[in-house]
């Protein structure tokens, strides 16, 4: 944890919450991306991100520093997302933004204008297939894939974040990768070099 972050946390714990905005700015993008990958919905991810930061703020007095602040924060956002998935199962969301009247506005991803249009279309199609397949996985499989493969956490960080034994994380990740492969199997021709 950077010294500034540790000091900000100590200040917040003693009642001076003015620095919490800095913590939010530092971690917002990764927390939002984690929530989006877990929930598959931009609005739901924004709500989950906000809820996670509110919970973190109200629980900051209990942060002991046994793990890094980011690990503690990701545990909160994962719990918020798992609660949301249990309470209201969602249909996988498209990567296309749509207005209330059904008109497609734009893609959520920023296209590389230098790329070959055919290659860009194929990349977008693969991305959409993986996104949809990820949303069909069980939450306990999805969470390990999001944390390890997409967010780049180590096995130990995933284990700490999810409060699971290291072996359980490894086996869940293995099963999740197999389940993801099965989900995209009908589209394997799009993933061949």
d(CA 148, CA 131): 16
Q: Looking at the structure, tell me whether residues 80 and 118 fall in a common domain.
A: no
User: What CATH number is associated with residue 181?
Assistant: 1.10.10.10
The two structure tokens encoding residue 8: 């900000």
Q: Looking at the structure, tell me whether residues 119 and 168 fall in a common domain.
A: yes
Q: Which of 43, 51, 40 is nearest to 89 (CA)?
A: 40
Question: What pLDDT, on a 0 to 100 scale, did the predictor assign at position 4?
Answer: 78
Domain contains 95: no
CA atoms within 13 A on the CB side of 168: 11
Q: Looking at the structure, tell me whether residues 62 and 119 fall in a common domain.
A: no
Domain contains 101: no
User: What string of pLDDT tens digits covers the 193 residues of the chain?
Assistant: 445 788 888 888 887 777 888 888 889 999 999 999 888 888 999 999 999 999 998 888 888 877 788 889 989 999 999 888 887 655 555 556 656 666 666 555 554 545 567 777 777 788 888 888 888 999 999 999 989 988 888 999 899 989 999 999 999 999 999 999 899 888 877 776 6
Domain contains 37: yes
The two structure tokens encoding residue 12: 């917040």
Domain boundary among 53, 87, 121: 87
Q: Looking at the structure, tell me whether residues 80 and 20 fall in a common domain.
A: yes
Q: Looking at the structure, tell me whether residues 80 and 19 fall in a common domain.
A: yes
d(CA 52, CA 1): 19
Q: Looking at the structure, tell me whether residues 25 and 81 fall in a common domain.
A: yes
The two structure tokens encoding residue 77: 């956002």
Q: Which domain holds residue 153?
A: 113-191
Compute the Cα dihedral for 183, 189, 192, 193 and give only its sign: negative
d(CA 123, CA 191): 9
């Amino acid at each position: 944890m950077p010294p500034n972050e540790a000091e900000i946390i100590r200040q917040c714990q003693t009642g001076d919450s003015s620095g919490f905005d800095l913590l939010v700015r530092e971690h917002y993008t990764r927390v939002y991306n984690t929530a989006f990958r877990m929930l598959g919905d931009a609005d739901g991810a924004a709500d989950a991100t906000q809820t996670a930061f509110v919970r973190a703020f109200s629980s900051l007095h209990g942060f002991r520093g046994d793990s890094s602040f980011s690990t503690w924060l990701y545990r909160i956002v994962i719990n918020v997302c798992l609660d949301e998935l249990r309470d209201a199962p969602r249909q996988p969301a498209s990567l296309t933004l749509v207005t209330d009247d059904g008109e497609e506005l734009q893609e959520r991803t920023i296209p590389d204008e230098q790329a070959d249009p055919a290659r860009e279309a194929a990349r977008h199609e693969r991305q959409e297939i993986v996104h949809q397949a990820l949303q069909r996985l069980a939450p306990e499989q999805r969470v390990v894939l999001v944390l390890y493969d997409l967010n780049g956490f180590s096995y130990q960080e995933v284990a700490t974040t999810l409060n699971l034994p290291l072996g359980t994380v490894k086996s869940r990740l293995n099963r999740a990768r197999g389940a993801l492969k099965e989900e995209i199997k009908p589209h394997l021709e799009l993933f061949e070099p």
